[in-house]
Amino acid sequence: MTTILDGRTIAFLAANEGVEHTELVHPWSALRALGARVVLIAPEEGFVHTFRHLDRADRLPVDVRTADADSSDYDAFLLPGGVANPDILRRDPATHRLLRAADRAGILIAAICHGPWTLIDAGLVADRTLAAWPSLATDLTNAGAVWTPERVHVDGGLLTAQGLEDVEEFTDRVIRMLARSTPE
C-alpha cells in the first residue's frame, strides 16, 4: 500500500540537548505514518535528548551528524523548537551550510517556536515574513525579517509557526506542502 509521502526523506535538525519533545515527535510520527523516511540530524553522534518544557523526556538516536549531512539527500528540513535547541544549532556552521543549501535548492524548510533563531544565523530571514515564538520578534526584525502574529505562516519555501499549540496545524501544512510537490 502506498501512502502520500512514500519516497520522501525528511530531515529533522535538532541539537543534542533541549529540543521540545512534542515539536519533534508529533510531526515525526505523522510523516512516518504517511510513508516518509525521517532522519534525525544533530551536531554530535549519540542521542538527542527531548524535553517537555524544562523536564527531560525521551532520548532519540541520532542518524547523521550535521557535518556529514548533504542537503540534496532530503525533501524537507524541520526545525523543532525549545529554547536551548535552536540556541545551540545557531552556533553550528554545518547546520548553516545545510540550511543555506536547502534554501538555494528550493527544499522546504519548516521551523516552529524558537526554531527560527537558527534561520537568523544561517542568514535566511532577511526580507521574509515569519511566525515564531513572540519573544523572537525583535531578533527577527533586527535580522531584516517581518515577524507575524499569525499562528502558522508560509513565505515561499519557508514554513514557520509560533509554538507548541500550533504543532498540529504546522504538521498538517508540512504534509500538504510535501504532498503537493511529490515527484511522479
| The predicted structure's pLDDT at residue 74 | 98
4, part of any domain:
no
Q: Which domain holds residue 88?
A: 9-180
- Tell me whether residue 55 is in a domain: yes
Amino acid at 151: R
pTM: 0.95
pLDDT at residue 2 in the model: 65
pLDDT of residue 1: 56
pLDDT recorded at residue 184 = 43
Query: What's the average pLDDT block by block, 10 residues per block, for the chain (184 residues)?
Result: 87 96 97 97 97 87 98 98 94 97 98 97 98 97 98 97 97 95 53
Residue 172 lies in a domain: yes
CATH number at residue 96: 3.40.50.880
Domain count for the chain, please give it: 1
Residue 161 lies inside a defined structural domain of this protein: yes
